Amino acid sequence: MTTTSIERSRANIFYLGMVCFVAALGGLLFGYDTAVIANAIGLLKKRFELGPALEGWAASCVLAGCMLGVSIAGIFSDRLGRRKTLMLSGALFLISAIGTATPTAFWMFVVFRIMAGMGVGVASMACPMYIAEITPPRIRGRMVSVYQFAIVSGIFVTHFVNYFIAGKRSDEWNTEMGWRWMFAAGAAPSVLYLLFLLFVPESPRWLVKQGRGGEAGGILAAIDGSESAAGELASIQQSLSQETSGERLFQRALWPVLAIGIALAVLQQITGINVFLYYAEKIFKQGGSEKQAALINTVVVGAVNMLFTIVAIWTIDRLGRKPLMIIGSIGMGLLLLLMGVALQFGSAGKWMLGLIVPYIAFFALSVGPVTWVLLSEIFPTRVRGRALSLATLCLWAADWVVTQTFPMLVPEARNEPGASTHPAILNGALPFYLYAFFCVVLVATVWRFVPETKNRTLEEIEHFWGRSSREER
């Protein structure tokens, strides 16, 4: 190998290493900020003397922030660039970590918690888009999947961080100070995230769109070599030259890909995943598990989520997006159906953990990471920021609907204070049947409408939609 080749190889590793690290930190903060409330909510309730409605708002206001964040992220990413948008998410993470740790009134906590949600919303759109635009096609799926792994890692790590902070402290200290340190712990990775973003390159596709092709070519060469860069730069320029001035997001030619992106985003949520992440303990109790066993089962669910996300990282660029999505959705649907049957006929206590664990495994192997990969790939460069922002907004809205409605459709755990006395529909099985139905819808959607994007450049994927549109006409 020549000296020049060695230097280029080192540059490739350096650039891709930075991208991977940005994905990891952005995803870790995403996971941490969404999960930290699970351990802090009881302490907040005591500290601010919250009633049921305000307790619910303390837990869910972050999702309102998420929807607001993705609403502005698309505009920022298309006008100011992907890198500056990532910096915006880092600043929101940092400010919210400090703000949620230091409030003297509940309304102050809510304001900063919504700001944390905005950071999550911006990162959930900008991180996968940036990674998809800067990585070579042969490893793009793997790199975007690293982001999903970082999210589930953040969720899993949150429980250990919070235990370290509050596990051996008195109830009085935790009520006054423990929850503050739980939120403050997010400040350190936020600072690291912002510092690292100072050294990452801008998206070459955004640079070409701004008429800065020379800069874009240099970044592409550093990532994948000058020979590959020349071809990819020409492909990007050709793709962007076909856009018309003042191109709108909702023009007729973009309807099919926009509809598919929104459908994938919504279906990822309404197949039930966050029910098992937010309400795992409640579900295990509903099935008859004791409190201690329910807590242990929840940790098992988190560990399985991490493990099979790693499997997805190593298979997504080998097996392809469509096979993983279809196999995973079928597996999830069958297991949800069995959960519903077990709950309806009163045998959930014996079988629930054995059904939830493989459901989580199927999700982590397929629908979880692959949805983010597809959303980062399928939209044309000229509208990618706005289109991905809209799809992610719909994802968070669907998450809010599922999170809000699940407690209304299941009975309270036995012996819990305030448990409902009226019978739940189908003994709490109804939501699981609904989620199973939407798994069928997801299989049909992917089978019929989603193209395989493995090993295709983003411009080749864009040309596919243009060709499909012309064939329909």
Write the CATH number for 33: 1.20.1250.20
Give whole-number Cα distances, 69 to 63, 79, 274, 378, in Å: 10, 16, 20, 21
Q: Is 392 left (phi over 0), alpha (psi -120 to 50) or beta?
A: alpha
- Alpha carbon distance 29, 189 (integer Å): 7
Question: Quick one: average pLDDT of 311-340?
Answer: 91
Residue with tokens 């505009």: 75
Please give the tally of structural domains in the chain. 2
Last residue of a domain, one of 137, 172, 200: 200
- Alpha carbon distance 365, 24 (integer Å): 18
Domain ranges, residue 286: 245-473
Whether residue 308 is found in the same domain as residue 442? yes
> What confidence score (pLDDT) does residue 422 get?
42
Last residue of a domain, one of 200, 235, 268: 200
- Alpha carbon distance 168, 430 (integer Å): 40
- Select, from the ranges 186-200, 209-223, 322-336, the one with the highest average predicted confidence (pLDDT): 322-336
Least confident residue range of 251-255, 280-284, 358-362: 280-284
- What is the model's pTM? 0.72
More confident residue, 10 or 403: 403
pLDDT in tens, 230-257: 888 888 887 766 654 445 666 777 788 8
DSSP secondary structure of 369-420: HHHHHHHHHSS-GGGHHHHHHHHHHHHHHHHHHHHHHHHHHSPPPTT-TT--
- Among 326, 82, 348, which residue's Cα sits nearest to residue 216? 82
Q: Is residue 223 a part of any domain in this protein?
A: no
Whether residue 186 is found in the same domain as residue 264? no
Cβ(237)–Cβ(211) below 8 Å: no
- Alpha carbon distance 472, 322 (integer Å): 22
- Average pLDDT of the chain, as a whole number: 80
Q: Is residue 215 a part of any domain in this protein?
A: no
pLDDT in tens, 410-431: 655 444 444 444 445 566 788 8
Whether residue 139 is found in the same domain as residue 16? yes
Question: Quick one: average pLDDT of 266-289?
Answer: 73
Rg of the Cα trace of the chain? 23
Q: Is residue 94 a part of any domain in this protein?
A: yes
Whether residue 189 is found in the same domain as residue 252? no
Whether residue 170 is found in the same domain as residue 269? no
DSSP secondary structure of 57-118: HHHHHHHHHHHHHHHHHHHHHHHH-HHHHHHHHHHHHHHHHHHHHS-SSHHHHHHHHHHHHH
More confident residue, 411 or 312: 312
Helical packing angle, 82-101 and 52-80, nearest 10°? 150
Least confident residue range of 175-184, 365-374, 424-433, 443-452: 424-433
Element (H, E) at 21: helix 3-35
